[in-house]
Structures are given as structure tokens and as C-alpha cells.
Amino acid sequence: YLRLLAEADLVISTTEHEFFFIIVLELFFFFLFPLLPNRLSYPELIPASQHAWCLYDDEEDLFLKAKDRLQHHDPGRTPPLLRESVVERFDWTAVAAMYDEVLEGMRE
């Protein structure tokens, strides 16, 4: 699995339902460029400034964006702002601090 991620250039999700976007988080840590549906939790996960790059609205939009990334960009590199935003919110150090706060509040 890790070897396949390391070899990938572009990752596309066409999911209709997802409980938590753990695979997408893994993609960011591998600096992979995602193309995600503009629905579910993805617009919330992706910074608004990156929506046009990473989110697609329909099948035609997906095709055009995938073609563009593969022909004209370095598709194997997630934009730094995108990765930083995800790491800042979901890295274990940030999540652990939130858990600590919640657990402390339960103790009171």
C-alpha cells in the first residue's frame, strides 16, 4: 500500500459516501495531488483557496482537471498550503491536544 502511494502521481476519489476521509489525509502526507468531489466533507477539508484546484463538480470537470494536472503540472506534489492546512488540523499533536481538552472537561 505504501509503495503504491509512493509511486502515484494523482489520486482521484469518486465516492458517494464516506464516514471519514482518512485515505485523503494519507494522500496529503505523501504529497499526492487529490481530485475530490465537491461534496461530502471535502469542501470543508480543502482550504477555500484550493477548491478550484482540488475539487470537481461533475464527470466532465473531473476529466478536464485530471487531464490538465497530468499534462501541465507536477501532479505528484500537493500544493504546500493544502498539505500545511491538513497537517495543522489533523496531525496527531493537534488531535491529541483536542482529546486532552475534552477528557479534562469530562473529569470536572
d(CA 44, CA 76): 22
The C-alpha cell of 60 is what?
466532465
Residue from 41, 48, 3, 35 nearest 22 by CA: 41
The answer to whether residue 58 scores a pLDDT higher than 70 is yes
Q: How does residue 73 score in pLDDT terms, banded at 50, 70 and 90?
A: low
- 92-107 and 80-90 are packed helices; what angle lies between their axes, rounded to 10 degrees? 30
Q: Determine contact, residues 10/75, Cβ cutoff 8 Å.
A: yes
The answer to whether residue 75 scores a pLDDT higher than 60 is no
The answer to whether residue 52 scores a pLDDT higher than 80 is yes
Q: How does residue 74 score in pLDDT terms, banded at 50, 70 and 90?
A: low
Q: Determine contact, residues 24/45, Cβ cutoff 8 Å.
A: yes
Q: Share the mean pLDDT of the chain.
A: 83
> Which pLDDT belongs to residue 39?
93
Share of the chain above pLDDT 70, in %: 90
Say which residues have a Cβ less than 8 Å from residue 41's Cβ, sequence separation at least 6. 18, 20, 21
DSSP string covering 52-103: HHHEESSHHHHHHHHHHHHHHS-TTS--HHHHHHHHHHHSHHHHHHHHHHHH
